[in-house]
């Protein structure tokens, strides 16, 4: 599992959206269900201080990861047979063994499959 959007985009160039790399590699997206505020969870002193997202924010987060989950479910056992840079490294395309193509544009912050 690769942490596409984990703490400062671990392994992802600064400023790039990890979801685009997640889509390109048909990876598993992270669901960020925690807010930025602090509150105690449970009574165990070893638990982290955190706050869950409100319902509306959680719905938006689920909507963000749903297409990525669907893509991974479709391609989890398919081989990436080709990877291309489309003019620059900022536009990339991956082709999978079932013929599915995933294209990302890091400048426009978009992905298509």
Distance CA 17, CA 106 (A): 7
pLDDT tens across 34-62, in order? Answer: 765 555 555 555 555 567 788 898 899 89
Predicted local confidence at residue 109, as pLDDT: 95
Quick one: pLDDT at residue 32? 77
pLDDT in tens, 61-96: 899 999 999 999 999 999 999 999 999 999 999 999
Strand partners, 34: 52
The chain-wide mean pLDDT, for the chain, equals: 84
Confirm if 51 and 38 have CB atoms less than 8 A apart. yes
* pLDDT for the residue numbered 47: 57
**Structure confidence at residue 90 (pLDDT):** 95
């Amino acid at each position: 599992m690769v942490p596409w959007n984990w703490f400062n985009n671990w392994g992802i160039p600064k400023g790039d959206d990890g979801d685009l790399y997640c889509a390109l590699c048909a990876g598993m997206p992270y669901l960020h269900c925690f807010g930025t505020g602090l509150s105690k969870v449970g009574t165990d002193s070893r638990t982290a201080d955190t706050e869950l997202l409100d319902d509306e924010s959680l719905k938006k987060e689920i909507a963000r990861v749903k297409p990525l989950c669907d893509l991974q479910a479709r391609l989890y056992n398919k081989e990436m047979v080709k990877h291309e840079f489309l003019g620059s490294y900022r536009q990339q395309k991956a082709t999978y063994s079932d013929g599915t193509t995933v294209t990302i544009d890091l400048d426009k912050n978009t992905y298509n499959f």
